[in-house]
């Protein structure tokens, strides 16, 4: 799930907390038997809710007398309902959360530090190949049990590639640099076709009348650029924060960042990708309609991208740059509500979800990428039977190509401040001089 959508949702939740307290009775049925054996668990993702329900028989067999109620709410309501539950004391026993919310919830003491439970039950955190360290707060304590991770991939229309004489192997091994764009630039140019049938690398190409763009827009107002510019600039050794966790600024003023963003903006100026805001439909719809030949999307887009009716879509890793491949990775985890009256049963459910047995069972649907490497391989093997190749995600994990999104303070203010500046840059209202301004503003906000 994108950090921007989460940040927007939590903003509404914080503003509305006091007013929602009066609505607490609406949530009473969701928080369940306060002292009983029913564990209430929430998620915002309907696909993951369905996948995790497959873990219930195994859990309830191993833990007779404990039942689990899984509730799913759309993201626009999810964090508002959580906030209402915090205010009224009726929040779910445990819930799925994303790293951008760690600072707010742990700082407000709404979620529980788990170190005592980990020690008491000898729970082995080393089972996780990714995500565990992302869930340590500024006090050094562990607040989350990892569920999954998310990165980026390049999805491509196999027929469009074939028509252009471009192989899947070429797309899987695209190189990039900010000077001439590498083979990525050549492939995007050749996949772009104007309404007269001229390709982007041919004489007479009309960039004002494009029928199929080589790639969907990589311009983004999102402050971390997870499914747009981040996987490009990260190949130069750049990282979003000046520190891996709780940074003092975002490094938008770095020369490599500026050079990368200028290159990406230039793709739109050259007619090789849509201009910022030109298309409002999802990437899967753009590929399905033939408006674009490739699109960078999230790992969470696998099922929607690869199951477009009548269109064969391949899955490729992100570009390889001067320092290899690299991408920012967000992590989702289970948090336990600090006010739960059902801790022992809740802990059993949360740790079962954090087991190879559950992550392999639920992960086989590929609605998420498990944080346990062996379970990730199960998901890859299961999807391979359906003709979907997810091996690039295993390679990214095994090859150390992921770096975690840094947990931050004042995340909502960062989003509210930075998003309009990115939008102004990509729309042409501002030039590259905006980037030092953006870096300075993040430093001011983090210092509060």
Helices (H), strands (E): how many in the chain? 20, 12
Q: Which pLDDT band, with edges at 50, 70 and 90, does 100 fall under? A: confident
Question: CB 307: neighbour CB atoms within 10 A?
Answer: 12
Q: Superfamily assignment of 3-149+333-398 in CATH?
A: Periplasmic binding protein-like II (3.40.190.10)
pLDDT for 367: 85
pLDDT tens-digit series, residues 285-326: 999 999 999 999 998 888 889 889 999 999 999 999 999 999
DSSP conformational letter for 234: G
User: Domains of the chain: which residue ranges?
Assistant: 3-149+333-398, 152-328+408-446
CA-atom Rg of the chain in angstroms? 22
pLDDT tens-digit series, residues 1-30: 444 455 455 444 444 333 332 333 333 333
Give me the residue label for tokens 């590639």: 161
Q: Who contacts 179 (Cβ-Cβ below 8 Å, separation ≥6)? A: none
Comparing 4 with 173, the larger pLDDT belongs to: 173
For the domain made up of 152-328+408-446, the CATH class stated in words is: alpha beta
3-state secondary structure (DSSP) of residue 108 = coil
Question: What stretch of H or E contains 43?
Answer: strand 38-43
Give me the residue label for tokens 């569920």: 147
CA distances in angstroms from 16 to 71, 228, 273, listed in the order given? 22, 32, 39
CA distances in angstroms from 207 to 242, 383, 433, listed in the order given? 38, 38, 27
């Amino acid at each position: 799930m994108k950090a921007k959508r989460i940040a927007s949702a939590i903003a509404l939740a914080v503003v509305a907390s006091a007013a929602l307290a009066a609505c607490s009775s609406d949530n009473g049925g969701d928080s369940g038997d306060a002292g009983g054996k029913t564990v209430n668990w929430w998620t915002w993702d309907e696909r993951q809710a369905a996948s995790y329900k497959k873990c219930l028989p195994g859990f309830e067999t191993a833990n007779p007398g404990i039942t689990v109620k899984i509730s799913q709410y759309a993201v626009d309501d999810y964090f508002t309902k959580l906030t209402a539950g915090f205010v009224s004391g009726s929040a779910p026993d445990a819930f799925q959360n994303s790293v951008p919310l760690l600072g707010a919830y742990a700082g407000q003491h709404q979620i529980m530090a788990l170190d005592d439970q980990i020690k008491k039950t000898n729970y082995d955190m080393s089972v996780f190949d990714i995500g565990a360290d992302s869930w340590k707060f500024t006090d050094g304590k562990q607040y989350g049990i990892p569920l999954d991770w998310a990165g980026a991939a390049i999805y491509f229309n196999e027929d469009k590639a074939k028509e252009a004489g471009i192989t899947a192997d070429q797309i899987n091994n695209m190189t990039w640099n900010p000077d001439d764009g590498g083979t990525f630039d050549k492939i995007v140019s050749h996949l772009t076709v104007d309404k007269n049938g001229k390709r982007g690398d041919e004489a007479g190409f009309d960039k004002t009348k494009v029928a199929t763009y080589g790639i969907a827009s990589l311009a983004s107002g999102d402050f971390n650029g997870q499914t747009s510019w981040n996987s490009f600039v990260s190949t130069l050794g750049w990282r979003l924060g000046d520190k891996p966790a709780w940074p003092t600024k975002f490094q938008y003023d770095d020369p490599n960042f500026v050079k990368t963003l200028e290159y990406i903006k230039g793709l739109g100026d050259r007619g090789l990708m849509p201009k910022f805001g030109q298309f409002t439909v999802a990437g899967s719809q753009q590929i399905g309609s033939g408006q674009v030949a490739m699109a960078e999307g999230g790992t969470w887009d696998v099922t929607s991208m690869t199951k477009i009716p009548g269109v064969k879509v391949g899955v490729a890793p992100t570009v390889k740059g001067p320092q290899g491949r690299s991408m920012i990775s967000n992590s989702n985890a289970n948090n336990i509500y600090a006010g739960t009256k059902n801790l022992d049963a809740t802990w059993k459910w949360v740790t079962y979800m954090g087991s190879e047995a559950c992550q392999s069972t639920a992960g086989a649907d590929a609605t998420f990428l498990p944080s346990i490497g062996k379970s990730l391989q199960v998901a890859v093997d299961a999807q391979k039977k359906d003709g979907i190749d997810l091996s690039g995600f295993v390679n990214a994990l095994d090859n150390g190509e992921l770096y975690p999104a840094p947990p931050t303070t004042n995340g909502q203010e960062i989003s509210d401040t930075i998003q309009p500046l990115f939008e102004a840059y990509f729309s042409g209202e501002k030039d590259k001089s905006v980037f030092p301004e953006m870096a300075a503003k993040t430093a001011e906000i983090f210092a509060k």
